[in-house]
Amino acid sequence: MKEQQFASDNYAGVCPEAWQAMQEANQGSAMAYGDDEWTELASNGFRTLFGIDCEVFFVFNGTAANSLALASLCQSYHSVICSSTAHIETDECGAPEFFSNGSKLLIAPSHEGKLTPDAIRTLVLSRTDIHFPKPRVVTITQPTETGLVYTADEIKAISDVCKTYHLKLHMDGARFAHACEFLQCDPADITWKVGVDVLCFGGTKNGMAVGEAVLFFDKHLAEDFDYRCKQSGQLASKMRFLSAPWVGMLKNDAWLTNARRANESARYLAEQIKDIPNVELMFPVQANGVFLKAPEKVLDGLRERGWRFYTFIGGGARFMFAWDAQRSRIDTLVQDIKECSTLI
Ligand SMILES: *Cc1c(COP(=O)(O)O)cnc(C)c1O
């Protein structure tokens, strides 16, 4: 593919900071299965960043991170409350149910992606009898699959409901960096300080080749998680190559700089197209995604001009930006949207 596309933020390559750290880790030999210095450094880096002594694990991808984290919070007869747009519901091929040996996902209807305290309460109270899987976990995606960011207060309100009903709170942070950038807050402010028990912190969409970190803020919940990773094929033997890039990402806040470039690209596109007729934003642009509602002919026009995008959320065209988004390419997209907008 010659020209840059914005169909997904995982179209991007590896950012220099992650690449450089991989190269530095590629010196000589190191202990296997996470007993190496890089893994220690990366784990401590997360503890410093979050200001808490948490348990940290490195897995290959987000599906594994989410599924194994949820499985560790559930028995097979439990259920997990999530939004209808949640990646664990729509894009993980049943992995959360599989790895939890059958914990059911309870889906809260949501148009714009967010889960609310009311929706959680409704689901919890809908059935309390022995015949229904017992709610045990709530999971929220930060930012949502629709690019919306939960504020600290919103998360706190959700965790208050969780406490009332003895539910654990999990956060799918495939784009966690982008949420922190938008809110201009410390990672702790939207996680353990407001009641999040486990966070899956995405590396791939933030500029790494591969890898997500699973952070257990309540260390007791991490019991035997290493066995879970091993059994599911997620324990890297050359772990240093999963952990070292994080050292590069955490140093000098590269993770945040990457997220800023991605978010700014999304805001730029949103700003440039706001006055174009027949084209509307489906959601406010807060993180690194822009969802456009436009007549099918307009979208077809963009496709004919070679643009790739997904339309799986509400039929709108999704454009996602990564650390490497080129401004000139966004300008070309804007121009094409302008020209195609009259195709109705
Ligand atoms: C990309 C993504 C993931 C992780 O997906 P993998 O392809 O398994 O790495 C998880 N949650 C959300 C919201 C995502 O967008």
Domains and CATH numbers, the chain: 16-253 (3.40.640.10), 259-341 (3.90.1150.10)
Q: Which of 7, 15, 320, 21 is nearest to 175 (CA)?
A: 320
Decide if 270 contacts 290 (C-beta within 8 A).
Answer: yes
Ligand 1 center from residue 78 Cα (angstroms): 23
pLDDT, residue 286, reads: 98
pLDDT in tens, the chain (344 residues): 689 999 999 999 999 999 999 999 999 999 999 999 999 999 999 999 999 999 999 999 999 999 999 999 999 999 999 999 999 999 999 999 999 999 999 999 998 999 999 999 999 999 999 999 999 999 999 999 999 999 999 999 999 999 999 999 999 999 999 999 999 999 999 999 999 999 999 999 999 999 999 999 999 999 999 999 999 999 999 999 999 999 999 999 999 999 999 999 999 999 999 999 999 999 999 999 999 999 999 999 999 999 999 999 989 999 999 999 999 999 999 999 999 999 98
pLDDT, residue 189, reads: 98
pLDDT, residue 167, reads: 98
Q: Cα separations (Å) of 280 from 51, 97, 130, 292, 336? A: 41, 36, 47, 6, 15
Please give the Cα distance from 102 to 57 (Å, whole number): 23
Tokens of 162: 């969780």
| Number of C-beta neighbours around residue 90 at 10 A | 15
CA angle at 206 for the pair 240 and 147, rounded to the nearest 5° = 145
Tell me the best of 59, 60, 63 to mutate to test the pocket of ligand 1, counting ligand atoms within 8 Å of each CB and taking the most: 63
Supply the pTM of this predicted model. 0.98
* Residue minimizing CA distance to atom 10 of ligand 1: 62
Pocket of ligand 1 from Cβ distances under 6 Å: 61-63, 66, 87, 141, 145, 172, 174, 204-205
pLDDT, residue 344, reads: 84
Ligand 1 center from residue 310 Cα (angstroms): 15
Ligand 1 center from residue 311 Cα (angstroms): 16
Q: Which of 212, 138, 208 is nearest to 171 (CA)?
A: 138
Residue type, 13: G
What is the signed CA dihedral for 18, 19, 20, 24, rounded to 10 degrees? 100
Decide if 153 contacts 94 (C-beta within 8 A).
Answer: no
pLDDT, residue 187, reads: 98
pLDDT, residue 62, reads: 98
Ligand 1 center from residue 315 Cα (angstroms): 20
Please list the alpha-helical segments (H only) found in the chain: 16-25, 37-50, 62-73, 87-90, 95-99, 117-126, 152-164, 176-183, 225-231, 240-250, 254-273, 296-304, 327-340
pLDDT, residue 178, reads: 98
